[in-house]
Amino acid sequence: MAFNVELQVRLKPGEAPKPVLLEVHPDWAPKGCERFKELVESGFYTAARFHRVIPSFIAQVGIAADPGVYAKWGNSPIPDDPVKESNKRGTVSFAMRGPDTRSCQIFFNYKDNGPDLDGQGFSPIAVVKAGMEVIDQLVVPSGKGPDQPTLKEQGNAYLDKAFPELSEIVEAKIV
């Protein structure tokens, strides 16, 4: 049964957050949707920043603000789900670095990435039902963007110093 998750996304520091509504589809990817629900319910995405934003491709989030929280979830991968839905614009999938490595990072597709990502095993878990215009306005990190190993070790303390401009999820909740 599909369920909804509301993200409150702050595009720039000091701005009021804006809502993004996701419709999560366990029939597309049951293991991924179960993990996403656990992450949302645990508050994992609170203050998580969009650390990888590549215009005309994807926007990625899911390294927790607190390194201890990231260590718990980021080092506990889940098995893959078969790809039942294509990575079209507005769909959300877990990031991975090979088979059975999905843990907590998710990405939003800016365009139809199905031809490139479906065959690599990226299985969508949700679709943006409202607020894609917010995702379209996310801040693109400067330079090469944050170093993920450093972000995993130091959390938002690293981003506050090196990338203070990044967009963030203020809150994620099931609605």
How confident is the model at residue 104, as a pLDDT? 98
Radius of gyration of the chain from its Cα atoms, rounded to whole angstroms: 15
Q: Collapsing DSSP states into helix, strand and coil, what is residue 140? A: coil
Residue 67 main-chain phi, psi, to 5 deg:
-60, -30
List the one residue out of 129, 153, 124, 149 whose CA is nearest residue 58.
124
Q: Are strands 106-109 and 48-54 parallel, antiparallel or unpaired?
A: unpaired
CA–CA separation, 5 vs 91, rounded Å?
13
Question: Tens digit of pLDDT for each residue in 117-169?
Answer: 999 999 999 999 999 999 999 999 999 999 999 999 999 999 999 999 999 99
Question: Tens digit of pLDDT for each residue in 3-14?
Answer: 999 999 999 999
| Mean pLDDT of the region 84-95 | 98
CA–CA separation, 76 vs 102, rounded Å?
8
CATH superfamily, domain at 3-174: Cyclophilin-like (2.40.100.10)
CA–CA separation, 41 vs 172, rounded Å?
8
* Domain residue extents for the chain: 3-174
What is 82-95 written as a DSSP string? Answer: ---S---TTEEEE-
CA–CA separation, 136 vs 159, rounded Å?
21
Cβ contact 50:61 at 8 Å: yes
